[in-house]
Amino acid sequence: MATGATPAPAIFVLFGATGDLARRMVLPAFYTLAEQGLLPEDWRLIGSGRGEVSQQDFVHSVRQSLQDFGPPVKSRSWSRFRKRLRFAAGDFVRGGHGSLLEEISDARRDLGPAAQLIHYLAIPPQAFIDITRSLAEHGLTEGARVVYEKPFGTSRESFRQLDRAVHRVLEESQVYRIDHFLGKEATQDLHVLRFANEVFAAMWSREHVRAVQIDCPETLGVADRADFYDHTGAVLDMLVTHLFQVAAEVAMEPPASLEAADLQAARESIIGRFRPIDPAEVVRGQFEGYRDLDGIARNSRTETFVAARLWVDTPRWRGVPFLLRTGKRLHQTHQSVSLILRDPPGPLTALPRPGNVLRFSLDGSGAIELRMVAKAPGVGLNLEATSASVAVSSIDSTPPLPPYVRLIHDVLSGDRSLVTRPDGLAHVWKVAEGLLSATGRPKPYPPGSWGPAAAAKLAAPDGWLLGQ
Ligand code: BG6
């Protein structure tokens, strides 16, 4: 687990530094780390990009991204921060590598030869292989850490190619494949709560849990990234990436310890026990009006909604459905993981349903909620479902860390507990084969609804707890 120790000096090379991901997530997270004193004493951030961007333009665009997506910027810390920003313009893969090499060697001269080199690939996954090769060609892989965003491959074959290309030039210990859902505070509580409290440890199996729901509806549309989304769809964007990793967090066997290697092994190896998804247990949808958006093919069959039943073939979970759902332009936005408990054998009957549920809310800074059945006050025996909730932000005075802040800190300090592993990802494609080969027309659903009606049946008898 992360120790919170201040990492060694670092040279952080941000590929795609003026792109959407860098502006929304990476740069604000980096600034938050600086604000919280979690960066190394000495560091340099070198943005790399193809555009003709001057040093001054880059500093300005970082400032703008903090204003748009970051924490409030304090002028004293900003003036310290901006001094360490550099920009290396040029197409790194196609002959334009000179300025980046120069910036890196300047940074090495200033920070010392022991400075940790980190390459963060905030670029479309199609460019991962070329950049990885070019890093090696220019001698930039030795001792470096390389960060890959999800999706790491978009099919079994593209995953294999990427994995081979990466391992040709990097040791596994240098590779940081990140999935920001694993960096969420409440996701980490899935294992911490379970292993720290006997009440939860004891109930974490098929004997006590009737169903698990991992439900991430979003009201958000895709208009501002139509092209990316139309080539990706909900299955790749969310289901086989974020939702599978969260399912693995719930389903894993207890690791020997919560040290990085043990935790990572427990989480990633359980994906090998996910049963290939049966296409009959999947509902794909597309919101009405999607094909009219700019940048979307008029005959697009990309799904903007998916719900699926997943089975985990281990003695602990045999027969317990893991119900996964996500989609765009739905009725509400939530990120919710619920363990629905079985009814006790008696003597009470006709309990309100679903009565006893342990729910983790992954949105925002996260919350843990226990829903239970209790006696309503009064002379009669009236049963009511009620709940108690703990916001992660109320646990301690330390503010919860946004997921990218946590994950970038892990990369800087070499903590691999929350990164994904190639064995886990290799299984993802086997499990998802039936899903990915579904090319039929997705079922239309009205924006603002809960998706196609057929999805409700998948979650019977409880139904989707958030709504349907
Ligand atoms: C991203 C997906 O990885 O996660 C988006 O590409 C999705 O489509 C987002 O909206 C949700 O995560 P969060 O935590 O940023 O709300």
CATH code of the domain in which 104 resides: 3.40.50.720
CA-to-CA separations, 356 to 209, 247, 269, 388, 404, in angstroms, rounded: 10, 20, 29, 11, 33
Q: How far is CA 199 from CA 188, 195, 202, 396, in A?
A: 18, 10, 6, 22
5 pLDDT more than 70: no
Helices first, then strands: H and E counts in the chain: 16, 15
CA dist 66 and 71 (Å) reads: 7
- CA dist., res. 436 & res. 434, Å (int): 6
The mean-pLDDT minimum among 3-7, 216-220, 238-242, 284-288 falls in 3-7
Q: Is 326 domain-assigned? A: yes
DSSP secondary structure of 119-154: EEE-S-GGGHHHHHHHHHHTT--TT-EEEEPSPS-S
Overall number of domains in the chain: 2
**Is 218 a pocket residue for ligand 1 (Cβ < 6 Å)?**
yes
Whether 43 shows a pLDDT value over 90: the answer reads yes
The protein residue whose alpha carbon is closest to atom 4 in ligand 1 is 238
Residue 8 has pLDDT above 70, yes or no: yes
Q: Would you place residue 349 in the very low, low, confident or very high pLDDT band (cuts 50, 70, 90)?
A: confident
Considering the domain architecture, whether residues 194 and 219 belong to the same structural domain is answered as yes
Nearest protein Cα to ligand 1, atom 12: 181
Residue 235 lies in a domain: yes
Local confidence band at 2 (pLDDT 50, 70, 90 cut-offs): very low
299 and 448 assigned to the same domain: yes
Closest Cα to atom 16 of ligand 1: 363
97-132 per-position pLDDT tens digit: 889 999 999 999 999 989 999 999 999 888 999 999
Tell me whether residue 119 is one of the annotated catalytic residues.
no
Contact 368, 393 (CB under 8 A): no
Instruction: Reply yes or no: is the peptide bond before residue 344 cis, omega within 30 of 0.
Output: no
pLDDT band of 1, cuts 50, 70, 90: very low
Within-domain flag for 150: yes
Domain shared by 140 and 222, yes or no: no
With the most atoms of ligand 1 within 8 angstroms of its CB, the residue from 26, 150, 237 to mutate is: 237
Q: Which atom of ligand 1 is nearest to the CA of 25?
A: 15
Residue type, position 194, single letter: R
Q: Of 81, 75, 93, which is closest to residue 32 (Cα–Cα)?
A: 81
Is the same domain home to 169 and 240? no
CB 361 within 8 A of CB 347: no
Residues 293 and 355 in one domain: yes
Q: What is the CATH number of the domain that holds 439?
A: 3.30.360.10
Ligand 1, closest atom to CA 222?
8
**Pairing of the two strands 43-49 and 85-89:** parallel
103 lines ligand 1 (CB under 6 A): no
Q: Could you give the CA distance from residue 461 to residue 342 in angstroms, rounded to a whole number?
A: 12
Taking a C-beta distance cutoff of 8 angstroms, is the pair 15, 47 a contact?
A: no
pLDDT for res 6: 64
Pair 276, 302 in one domain: yes
Other C-beta atoms closer than 10 Å to the C-beta of 173 total 10
State the Cα–Cα distance between residues 466 and 55, nearest whole angstrom. Answer: 48
- Is residue 468 domain-resident? no
237 Cβ inside 6 Å of ligand 1: yes
- Cα of 253 vs centre of ligand 1, distance in Å, is 27
149 lines ligand 1 (CB under 6 A): no
**Rounded mean pLDDT, 427-433:** 92
For the stretch 249-280, pLDDT in tens is 999 999 999 999 999 999 999 999 999 999 99
Q: What band does 4 get if pLDDT is binned at 50, 70 and 90?
A: low
Cβ neighbours of residue 121 closer than 8 Å, sequence gap 6 or more: 15, 16, 127, 128, 131, 146, 147, 148, 149
Rounded CA gap, 115 and 108, in Å? 7
CA of 246 relative to ligand 1 center, distance in Å: 14
Q: Give me ligand 1 centre to Cα 2, in Å.
A: 24
**What are 154-164's pLDDT values in tens digits?**
889 999 999 99
**Structure-token pair, residue 99:** 């300025």
169 phi and psi angles, rounded to 5 deg: -120, -10
Position 420 confidence tier, pLDDT thresholds 50, 70, 90? very high
Q: Of 133, 150, 177, which residue constitutes the final position of a domain?
A: 177
Burial of 322 (0-12, 13-18, 19+ CB in 10 A): buried
Candidate list 242, 331, 409, 427, residue with the active-site label: 242
If one counts every other C-beta atom within 10 angstroms of the C-beta of residue 352, the result is 12
| Unique residue bearing structure tokens 């748009």 | 68
Q: Are residues 24 and 48 in the same domain?
A: yes
135: its two tokens = 């890093």
Is residue 427, in this structure, part of any structural domain at all?
Answer: yes
Nearest atom (ligand 1) to Cα of 333: 16
Q: Are 464 and 450 in contact (CB under 8 A)?
A: yes
Best residue among 180, 227, 336 to mutate for probing ligand 1, ranked by most atoms within 8 Å of CB:
180
Question: Which are the contacts of 197, defined by CB distance < 8 A and separation ≥ 6?
Answer: none
Helix H or strand E encompassing 9: none
Q: Which of 383, 327, 351, 334 is nearest to 462 (CA)?
A: 351
Look at residue 411 and tell me if it is in a domain.
no
Region of 341 on the Ramachandran plot (φ > 0 left; ψ -120 to 50 alpha; else beta): beta
Same domain, 127 and 153: yes
Residue 7, pLDDT above cutoff 80 = no
C-alpha 238 – ligand 1 centre gap (Å): 7
Q: What is the dihedral of CA 331, 336, 342, 344, to 10 degrees?
A: -100
Residues above pLDDT 70, as percent of the chain: 99
SS3 for 370? strand
* Nearest atom (ligand 1) to Cα of 362: 14
Residue where a domain terminates, one of 120, 153, 177: 177
Q: What is the pLDDT of residues 53-89, one digit of tens each?
A: 899 999 999 999 999 999 999 988 999 999 999 999 8
Residue 16 CA, ligand 1 centroid: distance in Å: 18
> Structural domain of residue 163, as residue ranges?
10-177
DSSP class per residue in 174-208: GEEE--GGGGSHHHHHHHHHHHH-HHHHHH-STTT
Mean pLDDT across the chain, nearest whole number?
Answer: 94
Report residue 32's pLDDT band, with 50, 70 and 90 as the boundaries: very high
Do 225 and 261 sit in the same domain of this protein? yes
Regarding the beta carbon of 415 and ligand 1, being less than 6 Å apart is answered no
- 443 shares a domain with 332: yes
